[in-house]
A and B are shown apart, each in its own frame.
Chain A
Amino acid sequence: AQSVTQPDIHITVSEGASLELRCNYSYGATPYLFWYVQSPGQGLQLLLKYFSGDTLVQGIKGFEAEFKRSQSSFNLRKPSVHWSDAAEYFCAVYSGSARQLTFGSGTQLTVLP
């Protein structure tokens, strides 16, 4: 069965600093991978997704993620964090056989002024 691990429960960065959120997945076939963001009191919003092709994918709000098959990772990055990026971030993998998304536990991002 597929699984997603986000090793960092909580990350704190200063505004303007770079950011990397880690995601590792377990899936037997070529994965479909996603990053979602959840602001306080809100639902999940899709940041970006990887299906195939270029392993570096660009998303909304200046985020990007890189798929590394050898490391089973799909880490999310942003070169310069803004205070409005404070939120919880979820990595997810789609299982074609189960036809459902499996989510990680999330990483809470705090941005210091």
Chain B
Amino acid sequence: ETGVTQTPRHLVMGMTNKKSLKCEQHLGHNAMYWYKQSAKKPLELMFVYNFKEQTENNSVPSRFSPECPNSSHLFLHLHTLQPEDSALYLCASSFGPGDTEAFFGQGTRLTVV
């Protein structure tokens, strides 16, 4: 248990669906991250938020829309996804974007059909 909780753990969605992933941390961290983990590929950093403000968007397609209403919660809204978007989506947090150590959630296993 790292203190970062992601829901749901598993999600199957059609390409026309809209769904959201949720991440929550009560570690007092101010920075939160979304990573994508695909088979046989390194973890890809998608978004970074610091004090609710987005500071990084690593060329992520607009069908992924993050939201950070406060420093403890982070969402990833999904719409019109493609099968190649199927992956494990990991949320992480740290004291700041300049802080080196990140704490990871257990991930949401997303399957797009």
- Give A contacts to B, CB under 8 Å: 4, 9, 32, 34, 36, 41-46, 49, 51, 90, 94, 96, 99-106
Are the CB atoms of A103 and B42 closer together than 8 Å? yes
Contacts between the two chains (Cβ within 8 Å), count: 51
Is residue B21 within 8 Å, beta carbon to beta carbon, of the partner chain?
no
What residues of B have a CB within 8 angstroms of the CB of A4 in the complex? Answer: 42
Q: Are B4 and A43 in contact (CB under 8 A)?
A: yes
Chain A CB within 10 Å — which of B92, B102, B107 has the most? Answer: B102
B102 with A105: CB separation less than 8 A: no
Contact: B104 with A49, CB < 8 Å? no
Distance of A104 from chain B, by nearest CB (Å): 6
- From A34, A44, A101, contact of B45 by CB (8 A): A101
Query: Which 4 A-B residue pairs are closest in the complex by CB-CB distance?
Result: A43-B104, A44-B104, A103-B43, A43-B106
Bound complex: CA A7 to CA B64 (Å): 32
> Looking at chain A's contact residues, is the secondary structure mostly helix, strand, loop, or mixed?
strand
Q: Which residues of B contact A51 (CB under 8 A)?
A: 100
Distance of A27 Cα from B109 Cα, bound (Å): 32
Q: Is the CB of A46 within 8 A of B101?
A: yes
Q: Which residue of A lies closest to B99 (CB)?
A: A99
Give the docked Cα–Cα distance between A100 and B2 (Å).
Answer: 19
Question: In the complex, A100→B45 CA distance in Å?
Answer: 8
Interface centre among B4, B48, B101, B109 (most CB of A within 10 A): B101
